[in-house]
Amino acid sequence: MASKIQMPAPVCLIENKDRKLVVHQEALQLLSGIRQPVVVVAIVGLYRTGKSYLMNKLAGKNSGFPLGSTVQANTKGIWMWCVPYPGRPDHTLVLLDTEGLGDVEKGDAQNDSWIFALAVLLSSTLVYNSMGTIDQHAMDQLHYVTELTERIKSKSSPEGNPEALEDSAEYVRFFPTFIWALRDFTLQLELNGQPCTEDEYLENALKLKKGMSREVHVFNLPRECIRLFFPTRKCFIFERPTTRKNLHRLEDMEERELDPDFVQQALQFCRHVYKTSKPKTIPGGHVVTGRLLANLVETYVDTIRSGGVPCMENAVLALAQIENSAAVLEATGRYMELMDQKLELPTETLQDLLGIHRTLDQRKEAYCRKNELESSARCKALLTRFSEELEGRINEAFYSRPGGYQDYFNDLKAITVKYHEESGKGVMADVVLQQFFKDKEDVGRAILQSDEALTEKEKEAEDARTRAEAAERENEIQRQKQAELEEKLEDQRRSHEANMEHLKEKMERDRELLLEEQNRVMEAKLRVTSQ
């Protein structure tokens, strides 16, 4: 049921008083009266950076949230302004203006971290407001984002067991979208000498360095946290709205007195927020109304004041108990009202009294059955969508190969993970999933049998290949030995022929020497005879 919002000015929702956070009951009562879904836009950033001006523009006003005109931070704690949502009559826009971070007078970084964490927990769109450019100094000032895993838990876990940065998927499910608003931006939007958009400028500033040194870790940590926790990001740049001497009277100035570029940039910012911001939800896909938001605020602040860490899982359980108790009281009251109207006591018989309840039971059964049918249809549609690739692979016999069953099992597991991550499945979620598995039993059994048979054949083929390769290696060895033997025989033949030739030559020389010797002897004898 829609509720008309009557908030001419912001009110303090959470006061930062004496370094303690205190919830204002007046603000909670205002929130509790809103039965519509709420879109919560929170803005955070260093003090004296013009956060309140942007929030006033989102409210369609020039004034409301105090702008301040001195170096002192003006907003203390978190202030709230609930206004009709432009273009969405069935939603309420809840604007949260937070205390400026890094106030030197306050000197309490602990409270700053809790203010930042509450802004993240309560909002569906988070605006981070800073001055100048996105450089390392700006990243160092955004160190609060690196502390989120210490300030927020997605699931209930034992003390001293914080969730790791790698578990960012759990946080992304309920973290807001992220807008970086850069005020008094004076540079040209260029990258490597080429014009770029605001979003390209932001993504370039969030690039990670390679390396394992401490300096690289310090550089990457805030960037990595923003990339992991806020996958949906947007950047807006703003010129200085007016001259420095006129800034103190900004909320009294007409738009025509402001820098035209700034006016246009503020208009584009507001249009983007109006168009893209979504209703606040909690894990499970439940849309938050003003009453639920009020309960969330009280639950989170009570946890912080008690020294604990806000936990989404516990908050959802607490909300469920509160809402269920309220629903029971409301239903009981309505039941008694209707019974008083329809029942005339005393009844003639007990059956007359029970007959009235029989109608209620029949309606209850009808609603239960309708609820089950709607849940079944939703769950079946999800499984059909998630298993399209699986069915295609089955039809293409993708799994009919050695190792195919393991791939089939992994694909089924991936479908199950996606299915469990989906919210709003209803009471038949487990029943439909079990039926899905049952329907796949025959297919899985066939794939397993095929896998085992093909695996056995592959083993036999592998053995045959191994034996053939061994035989071929043996044949090759024999061929090599034969070649070596033939080479040795050839070498022996050549050696024998060479020896014979050498012997023949030696015999010829010896014969010649013998003949020469014989001739010398004959000649000697002839000389002796002639004398």
pLDDT per residue of the chain (531 residues) written in tens, 0 to 9: 444 577 888 999 998 877 789 999 999 999 999 989 999 999 998 876 678 888 888 988 877 787 544 333 445 789 999 999 999 999 999 999 988 776 655 546 678 888 888 999 999 999 998 888 888 888 888 888 888 777 777 665 544 444 544 455 567 777 889 999 998 888 888 888 899 999 999 999 999 999 889 999 989 888 988 888 888 899 999 988 877 766 666 666 777 778 888 889 989 999 999 999 999 988 777 889 999 999 989 988 988 888 888 776 776 666 666 666 566 666 667 767 766 666 666 666 667 666 666 676 677 778 778 888 988 999 999 999 999 998 998 898 888 888 888 888 899 889 989 888 888 888 888 888 888 888 888 888 888 888 778 777 666 666 666 667 667 777 877 888 788 778 778 877 887 787 788 888 888 887 888 888 788 778 777 776 665
First-residue to last-residue Cα distance in the chain = 167
Of 265, 20, 276, 315, nearest to 125 by C-alpha is 276
Q: 249 with 348, same domain?
A: no
**Residue 229 · residue 128 · CB < 8 Å:** no
Same domain, yes or no, for 370 and 299? no
Is 275 a member of any domain?
yes
- Indicate whether 449 belongs to any domain: no
Task: Say what percent of the chain tops pLDDT 90.
Answer: 22
The residues, any chain, with a CB within 8 Å of residue 27's CB and separated by 6 or more, are 11, 12, 13, 80
> Are residues 365 and 268 located together in one domain of the fold?
no
Q: Let me know whether 421 and 278 are in one domain.
A: no
Name the domain boundary from 265, 293, 309: 309
Residues 293 and 297: their CA atoms lie apart, in Å, by 6
Q: Are residues 305 and 363 in the same domain?
A: no
Q: Give every CB contact of residue 101 below 8 A, 6+ residues apart in sequence.
A: 44, 45, 46, 47, 112, 115, 116, 141, 144
Helix, strand, coil percentages (3-state) for the chain, rounded to 5, are: 60, 15, 25
Residue 282 domain flag = yes
SS3 109: helix
In a domain, 202, yes or no: yes
Domain coverage including residue 278: 11-156+163-309
Mean pLDDT of the chain: 80
pTM flag (> 0.75)? no
Q: Summarize pLDDT for 364-406 with one digit per residue, the tens.
A: 778 778 888 988 999 999 999 999 998 998 898 888 888 888 8
- Final residue belonging to a domain, choices 283, 309, 335: 309
- What is the CB neighbour count within 10 angstroms for residue 323? 15
> How many domains are there within the chain?
2
Between CA 11 and CA 111 the distance in angstroms is: 20
